[in-house]
A and B are shown apart, each in its own frame.
Chain A
Amino acid sequence: MKRKIAAVLITVSFIAFLLIGLSDFPPYGTADSAVYNEVTARYLEKSIEETGAVNAVAGMILDYRAFDTFIEASVIFTALVLVLMMLQKNDKANGGDGNDHAHH
């Protein structure tokens, strides 16, 4: 029960954190916001000089936005762990109480 309450609290605070970040965004479709002008121009003009990558996409996802890619890879890893937890047949990976280990 304690763990469930902790999980709900962590989730709610994370959602609040994301929503607070979202409230700083410019309104959707604003033509003069920096994202649509300065960021694009900076990436296209300076990515080779600043990241050293000829492929501008690689420069963006692994240098300017490397943390985004880090979390993407973490999502894949978490999905893998969850699939193994839910679907594996043997008891070892299901977090059993340890008594089943003798059978394997």
Chain B
Amino acid sequence: MTTPIIRRIVGWLLPFLWIFSFYIMLFGHLSPGGGFSGGSVLGACLILDRHVNGANAFGARFTGERLLKLSLAALLLYGILKGQSFLAGVLHMNGLPIPLGTPGNILSSGLILPLNVLVGIVVAVAFYLIATLFEEGHL
């Protein structure tokens, strides 16, 4: 049920929402937010875009299978990145040397920034695919 009102308002809102979702994910280690909340907003962006723009939406460029593979790849990468540091700790070895940086900078706190983005990808894909499935009946 897309009316011109929704179309216009979403058109104004979406650019800011895109930026806001990436802000939440990329600044998760500095301010409130992180992978789950940023991924929710990113998923909402994809859903609104798909609802208003249909086949021209950004998400419509990818098949559901591709997005699932992207989500799985993000999950596996998370497991590898964190698994190596946990295993290294258990075996009393040195894991990948990842500098912690200066607390407060964007590029700091080691793995937390990339892990936030990976979690965000998983959450956004899940929201988007389920909403698309419920609205259109197929992917």
Contact = CB atoms under 8 A, between A and B. Distances in A.
A77 B103 CA distance: 32
Interface of B (DSSP majority class): helix
Interface stretch (B6-14, B45-53, B54-62, B104-112): B104-112
Interface residues of B, number: 42
B78 A73 contact: yes
B119 A73 contact: yes
B42 interface: no
A25 B75 CA distance: 30
Given A54-B29, A58-B29, A87-B133, A76 B103 contact: no
Given A53-B112, A58-B34, A76-B126, A67 B103 contact: no
Interface of A (DSSP majority class): helix
Contact of A55 (B29, B115, B119, B139): B29
B64 A53 contact: no
Contacts of B36: 72
A77 B138 contact: no
Contact of B103 (A48, A62, A88, A93): A48
Nearest to A50: B100
Interface string A57-95: 111011100110110111011011101100111100100
A52 interface: yes
Interface in A13-72: 48, 51-55, 57-59, 61-63, 66-67, 69-70, 72
Contacts of B29: 52-55, 58-59, 62
Given A55-B28, A74-B75, A63 B110 contact: yes
12 contacts: A57-B32, A59-B29, A62-B111, A63-B112, A66-B111, A69-B119, A70-B78, A70-B79, A72-B36, A76-B122, A77-B122, A80-B130
Interface of A: 48, 51-55, 57-59, 61-63, 66-67, 69-70, 72-74, 76-77, 79-81, 83-84, 87-90, 93
Top 10 A-B residue pairs of the complex, sorted by shortest distance between their CB atoms: A52-B100, A52-B109, A53-B29, A53-B109, A80-B126, A58-B29, A66-B82, A62-B112, A73-B122, A62-B115
